[in-house]
Structure 1
C-alpha cells in the first residue's frame, strides 16, 4: 500500500478550512473484524503556522505542495487572517510560549554538573569502602591461615580475592 502523500508534503484537510499542514508521518493500518479486513493509511500532521497536531485519513487530505517545493511555497504564503486552532489537540505554542534564556539554561547545566560530580564522588567512596572491607577480610583469613595452617582459611581467602577481582573489573 503506497500512500499518496510523503513526509514533508503540505496538505489541506477536510473540515479545516484555509489551514495547511505538514505530513509528519503515516501508518499503514490493516484492521481485521468479524465482517472482514480493511486497509487504510492514517497520517499525523502538524499545522504549518501554529504547530497544532492532527491525525487524518488519506481520503480527507488534498495535496497543496510537495516537500521539495514547500519552503518556496511558504515564503510566498499569505498568513493574514490565518484561522486559529479549532480542535482540542495540543498546541505546542500553548505549552512552550517562550524558550528559557541562555543564562538560565547555563545555570541549570552548572547545577546538573555539580550534582553529577557529587554523585560520582559518593559512589567512588562507597566502592572504596567496599574494597577496603574485602581487603580487611582477605588479610584476616590469610593471618588465620598463616597461624593455624588450616586449608579452609586459605579457601575463604581465595573466595574473597575472587570478589575483589570482580569488583575491580566492574
Structure 2
C-alpha cells in the first residue's frame, strides 16, 4: 500500500509563493488528483507544494510584489464597545491596515478610528478590542432614539410640568419603558436596566392612582 504523503505546510503557516516572490499565509489545503494543494490568503487560486517555501527557507531576491486580501470585521458607521471602556459607546469613522514584514515573520494589524457617543471624543483601537453593538444600518435608528431620550431628560431637568392625568402619565411611562427596554437590549448598559426598573415602579404607582380615582 502506498503511504499517504504528509503535507509540508499547515494552515496558519507563513510562506513564500516562489514563482511570484510574494509572502502569504496558508488558509486552506486540499487533495487534488492525489496531490496536496494550498490556498493562500483566501485567494481563489491553489498552489502546489513545490511552488511554496517557508519564509525562513526562502533565498529569493529582496524586492517582492505582494497581493494582500484583508477582511474587515467592522464597517464605517458601526456602533461598538471598546475593551477597557465598556461603559462608553463608540462609532467607527475610519480604519487603516498596518503591514509588518520581517525576515522570519509577517502579519497585518487592523486599526479602527472611533468617536465616542455623544461627545465625539476620538479613539483608536485594534479589531480584537472591539465588540459590535449594532451594524451601520441599525446604528442610525438607535442613535436617533438615544438623542430623543436625551432631549426628553434635559427637558425634565429644566422643570417642565408633568402631566396630571393618570391616563396621560401611564401612556408616557409605557412609551419610555419601551424605549429604555430597546436601548438595554442593544447596549446591555446598566444605566438602561436601572431606568427600566424605575419606570416599572412609577407605572405601578400611576396605575394605583388611576384605580383610586375611578372608585
Q: TM-score range by the shorter chain?
A: 0.3 to 0.5
Higher strand share: 2
TM norm structure 1 = 0.44
Larger radius of gyration: 1
Higher helix share: 1
TM norm structure 2 = 0.35
